[in-house]
Amino acid sequence: MPISPILCIAGLVVIIYFLWTRRRYYKLMLKLPGPLGLPFLGSAPDFIINKFKMNQRTMYMDKYGSTLLTWIGIQPVILSRDPKIAEDVLTSPQCLHRTSRVTKAIGSVLGPGLLSLKGTSWIKRRKLLNASFKQNVLLSFLSIFNAESRLLVSQIDSIVGQGETDLLPQLVRWSFSIAHQTTLDITQTEERNLRTKAILESWASLVNMIVIKVLIPFCQNNTVSNIFGLEEKTKKINTHLSKIIDNKLLSKPESYSVSTSKSVICQLMELYGKGKISFEEIRGECCNIIQAAIDTTSVTVNHNLILLAMFPKYQELVFEELKGVFPAGGDFEVEHEDLQKLLYLDHVFNETLRLFPPIPFSIRDATEDFFLSNGVLVPKGVILGIDIFNMHRNRDLWGHDADSFNPDRFLAVDDRQRHPYAFIPFSKGRRNCIGWKYAQISIKIALARVLRNFTITTTFQYKDLVSVDNIVMKLNKPPLLNFKRRTS
Residue partners of 206: CB distance under 8 A and separation at least 6: 109, 110, 233, 234, 237, 291
Closer CB to ligand HEM, 332 or 471, in the complex? 471
**Shortest Å, Cβ 138 to ligand HEM:** 10
3-state DSSP call for residue 252?
coil
Could you tell me the smallest distance in angstroms from the CB atom of residue 127 to ligand HEM? Answer: 10
Amino acid identity at 396: D
Q: Which is nearer to ligand HEM, 25 or 436 (CB)?
A: 436
- Comparing CB distances to ligand HEM, the nearer of 256 and 389 is 389
For residues 52 and 470, is the Cβ–Cβ distance under 8 A? Answer: yes
Q: If 0-12 CB within 10 Å is exposed, 13-18 middle and 19+ buried, where does residue 327 land?
A: exposed
Amino acid at 234: T
State which residue, 174 or 332, has the beta carbon closest to ligand HEM.
174
CB of 207 within 8 A of CB of 472?
A: yes
**Minimum CB–partner distance for residue 264 and ligand HEM (Å):** 8
- Give me the torsion for CA of 22, 24, 30, 34, rounded to 10°: -60
- Residue 18 CB, shortest distance to ligand HEM, in Å, is 30
CB of 326 to ligand HEM, least distance (A): 23
Triad 358, 64, 216: Cα angle to 5°: 50
Q: How far is the CB of 118 from ligand HEM (least distance, A)?
A: 10
User: Residue 3 CB, nearest distance to ligand HEM (Å)?
Assistant: 50
| Residue from 80, 70, 29 nearest 47 by CA | 70
- Closest-CB residue for ligand HEM? 435
Query: What distances in angstroms separate CA 247 from CA 202, 250, 252, 253, 269, one per listed residue?
Result: 21, 5, 9, 9, 12
Which lies closer to ligand HEM via its Cβ, residue 284 or residue 425? 425
What three-state secondary structure class fits 325? Answer: helix
The residue count of the chain comes to 488
Instruction: Count how many Cα atoms sit within 13 Å of the Cα of residue 164 in the half-sphere of its side chain.
Output: 11
Closest CB 108 distance from ligand HEM, rounded Å: 17
How do strand 377-378 and strand 370-371 relate by DSSP bridges? antiparallel
Q: Which is nearer to ligand HEM, 158 or 432 (CB)?
A: 432
Tell the smallest beta-carbon distance from residue 433 to ligand HEM (Å).
3
**Whole-angstrom distance, CA of residue 156 vs CA of residue 326:** 19
Q: Residues 371, 327: contact at Cβ < 8 Å? A: no
User: Is 225 or 268 the residue whose CB approaches ligand HEM more closely?
Assistant: 268
Given the complex with ligand HEM, which of 231 and 365 has the nearer CB atom? 365
Nearest approach, Cβ of residue 421 and ligand HEM (Å): 12
Q: Of the two residues 231 and 387, which places its CB atom closer to ligand HEM in the complex?
A: 387
| DSSP letters spanning 163-193 | --B--HHHHHHHHHHHHHHHHHT--HHHHHH
Amino acid at 193: N
Q: Give contact residues for ligand HEM (rule: CB under 6 A).
A: 98, 114-115, 126, 179, 288-289, 292-293, 296-297, 300, 358-359, 362, 425-427, 431-435, 438-439
Question: Toward ligand HEM, which CB reaches closer, 106 or 309?
Answer: 106
